[in-house]
Structure 1
Amino acid sequence: MKIARIEIEGTARVGVVDGDAVQPLAVDLDELLASDARDELAARTADGSPRPLSAVRLLAPVAPPTLRDYITFEEHLEGSLKLLGRTAPPPEWYDQPVFYFSNPNAVVGPDDPVAVPPGCERLDFELELAAVIGKPGKDLTPEQAGEHIAGYTLFNDWSARDLMPPVIPVGLGPVKGKDFANTLGPWIVTADELAGHRRDDRLALEMHAEVNGVALPGGGDTSANMSWSFEEIVAYASRGAELRTGDVLASGTCGAGCLLEHWAHLGDAAPPPLRPGDVVTLVVEGIGSVSNPVVAGVEPVALPKARVGMPRRARPWGRTLEG
């Protein structure tokens, strides 16, 4: 099943995509994602006749309560670190699947414009696959986690590369470098529909990206190269924390799935950073494609530097509680 969110006469609706048509449903998206009988629920809640996809606007297929973005492709990590003069990932990366929380309020859908963030001169995209949670769960094993994945969608983790280096040394993440846009789409393909694409314990979907209709040089990648499976990253995310219906967990960028890696290996001019007028398209086997045009943004509002030399209160550092 392909589950979409569509806009009809200004109202967001849930629909099931079949070929070039979409069947609107009278059901809540969370109810459909969490259901153990989606086909029956969709049939029972069909609302009117199917509509041509061309006659509706596709929205982001889910408005996630939380959005975790992992870094599970070793090749991408190696390419990213090369720009920092490092030759290998840190040993800690191999111990557990790490992630950061992205901004769910910055989610955009298919064909939505993405504005260059204020102050950015090196705009980039990231080709990723993402799992969408169906049934809630906590402290799951990888064997249990698969039952909690409703399906999969494409994810573009837009990145302002030049806004990240000044703040990463503080240790709180990429800050405004990742705060402005996250594309999800075009729809959610349920896990059962992708069962034939599994290799051993994980999905094996071919992935590639295009800029202005031209595929990035060097070819794409396959999701089979994830160093942890989706079941494993879902289990890790649920450790001590409840996953809820609609939560999104992204794979991280696949090998050669962004401009940054090409800059690391080929130099800054090949290919150039994104500019207004460019169109980025992500393509993943078994799911489809999602495109977004880049448009001009606004200038940043200037802020002062931190105040320093402020009076500090006396602290009892060095004294014991008894003293």
Structure 2
Amino acid sequence: MKLGSLKEGGRDGTLIVVSRDLKRAVRASGIASTLQQALEDWENTAPRLNGLSEALNDGSAPGAFDLDMHALAAPLPRAYEFVDGSAYLPHVERVRRARGALVPESFYVDPLMYQAVSAGFLGPRDPVKVVSEDYGIDLEAEIVIVTDDVPMAVTPEQAAAHIQLIGLVNDVSLRNLIPPELAKGFGFLQSKPRSALSPVLATPDELGDAWQGNKVHLPMLTHVNGEWFGAPEAGVDMQFDFAQLVAHAARTRPLSAGTIVGSGTVANEDTSLGASCFAERRTVETLRDGKPSTPFMKFGDTVRIQMLDHAGNDVFGAIEQRIEQQPVP
């Protein structure tokens, strides 16, 4: 099934079930008012939501309506936790090589992960608002999974059973603010504003054989200003699968239902498949030419991030955003 949230009913939106073709939807009235509420009682709500999904897809769901992407909030408008990994090591290796640094051996056995912003997510058509272009505005096309309640110290094998939903995120980064923040040795803060989630989150079964080994085996397709930017294969060169990432996050603490875990920027060894962020493209240019030639994003630029299945169908709906200037209060 595919789930989304309407921009109504307060900060957490109104839960809807969305048709497989992303054209129709129905409110989950009587089952759960929000996706967070559904996830907190997933064992009971999931079968009922799935039944509503089947009725919607066969045309028998009462109260169904045409889906307007602009009416959608993020499927989880806010979450208790968002932890973001960096599981695609070709990206890490290139970035470090461009500045003359080696990748520590520990990176190959111990995932990189940080605590990201979860107090609010942008909707799939909401603009990205930034005070200044000087911040180095970048997109990051990533995959996310959403868990139910995860016990502390689960193994990766146990963690796999707690992956309930899959989607996409534009994990916005302000690249020029990152170096001075990391130099303090205390992690990201100002350099990581709010991110945007895809129109829907889908259960793993919706992906069919594209969900294998706790990875999504589809290209991550990104367009900037209507032009192809990249389509790296998400199932290739992912050092740590999502079960491993969940287990890493839960090593010393339980994870609450509704926790979002990110893959990090999708990247391949094969650079001909393009990039999922400007930092990646600029790094490739630096390694090739000695310096980057592609600037970061400007006000008025647009980004489109989506995944198509092997038949060309949109799986999660597209994140479509415009970069806009945020007025200073």
Give the TM bin, normalised by the shorter chain: 0.7 to 0.9
1:30 aligns with 2:45: no
1:164-219 CA distances to partner (integer Å, 9 max, x unpaired)? Answer: 112211111132111x22111211111222242134453312112111121115x4
Q: 2:139 aligns with which of 125, 137, 140?
A: 125
Aligned residue number for residue 71 of structure 1: 86
Tell me the SS of whatever aligns to 1:295.
strand
Aligned residue number for residue 311 of structure 2: none
Q: CA deviation at 1:223?
A: 3.1
Q: Tell me if the contact between 1:127 and 1:209 (Cα under 8 Å) persists in the aligned partners.
A: yes
Q: 1:215 aligns with which of 228, 234, 244?
A: 228
Q: CA deviation at 1:291?
A: 1.4
User: How far apart, in 1, do the equivalents of 2:325 and 2:6 lie?
Assistant: 26
Aligned residue number for residue 4 of structure 1: 4
User: How far apart, in 1, do the equivalents of 2:100 and 2:69 lie?
Assistant: 50
Q: 1:194 aligns with which of 197, 207, 226?
A: 207
The letter of the residue matching 1:124 is: D
Tell me the SS of whatever aligns to 1:166.
helix
Tell me the SS of whatever aligns to 1:107.
coil
1:287 aligns with 2:306: no
Aligned residue number for residue 80 of structure 1: 95
Alpha-carbon spacing, 1:187–1:49, altered in 2? closer, same or farther (3 Å): same
Q: 1:58 aligns with which of 62, 68, 72?
A: 72
Q: 2:281 aligns with which of 262, 270, 273?
A: 262
RMSD of the alignment, in Å?
2.5
The letter of the residue matching 2:71 is: R
TM-score normalised by the chain length of structure 2: 0.82
Q: CA deviation at 1:138?
A: 2.3
Q: Tell me if the contact between 1:116 and 1:294 (Cα under 8 Å) persists in the aligned partners.
A: yes
User: How far apart, in 2, do the equivalents of 1:229 and 1:95 lie?
Assistant: 12
Q: 2:237 aligns with which of 199, 215, 225?
A: 225
What does 1:231-270 align with in structure 2 at a 5 Å threshold?
A: 231-255=243-267, 256-267=275-286, 270=293
The letter of the residue matching 2:42 is: S
Aligned residue number for residue 273 of structure 1: 296
What does 1:90-105 align with in structure 2 at a 5 Å threshold?
A: 90-105=104-119
User: How far apart, in 2, do the equivalents of 1:236 and 1:9 lie?
Assistant: 35
User: How far apart, in 2, do the equivalents of 1:159 and 1:56 lie?
Assistant: 23
1:14 aligns with 2:4: no
Q: Tell me if the contact between 1:8 and 1:56 (Cα under 8 Å) persists in the aligned partners.
A: no
Aligned residue number for residue 270 of structure 2: none
- Structure 1: give runs of 5+ residues left out of the alignment: 302-323
Alpha-carbon spacing, 1:165–1:55, altered in 2? closer, same or farther (3 Å): closer
What does 1:130-141 align with in structure 2 at a 5 Å threshold?
A: 130-141=144-155
Aligned residue number for residue 271 of structure 2: none
User: How far apart, in 1, do the equivalents of 2:36 and 2:88 lie?
Assistant: 30
206-215 or 67-76: which moved more?
206-215
Q: Tell me if the contact between 2:148 and 2:162 (Cα under 8 Å) persists in the aligned partners.
A: yes
Q: CA deviation at 1:31?
A: 4.1
Tell me the SS of whatever aligns to 1:165.
helix
Q: Tell me if the contact between 1:209 and 1:220 (Cα under 8 Å) persists in the aligned partners.
A: no
The letter of the residue matching 2:323 is: V
The letter of the residue matching 1:296 is: Q
The letter of the residue matching 2:254 is: E
1:175 aligns with 2:184: no
User: How far apart, in 1, do the equivalents of 2:174 and 2:203 lie?
Assistant: 31
Alpha-carbon spacing, 1:118–1:276, altered in 2? closer, same or farther (3 Å): closer
User: How far apart, in 1, do the equivalents of 2:120 and 2:68 lie?
Assistant: 25
Q: Tell me if the contact between 1:212 and 1:278 (Cα under 8 Å) persists in the aligned partners.
A: yes
User: How far apart, in 1, do the equivalents of 2:141 and 2:69 lie?
Assistant: 28
The letter of the residue matching 2:85 is: Y
Q: Tell me if the contact between 1:135 and 1:150 (Cα under 8 Å) persists in the aligned partners.
A: no
41-50 or 274-283: which moved more?
41-50
Aligned residue number for residue 114 of structure 1: 128
Tell me the SS of whatever aligns to 2:95.
helix
Q: Tell me if the contact between 2:204 and 2:211 (Cα under 8 Å) persists in the aligned partners.
A: no
Q: CA deviation at 1:56?
A: 6.3
TM-score normalised by the chain length of structure 1: 0.83
- Structure 2: give runs of 5+ residues left out of the alignment: 268-274, 309-314
Q: Tell me if the contact between 1:127 and 1:254 (Cα under 8 Å) persists in the aligned partners.
A: yes
Q: CA deviation at 1:153?
A: 1.0
Alpha-carbon spacing, 1:75–1:151, altered in 2? closer, same or farther (3 Å): same
Q: Tell me if the contact between 2:70 and 2:125 (Cα under 8 Å) persists in the aligned partners.
A: no
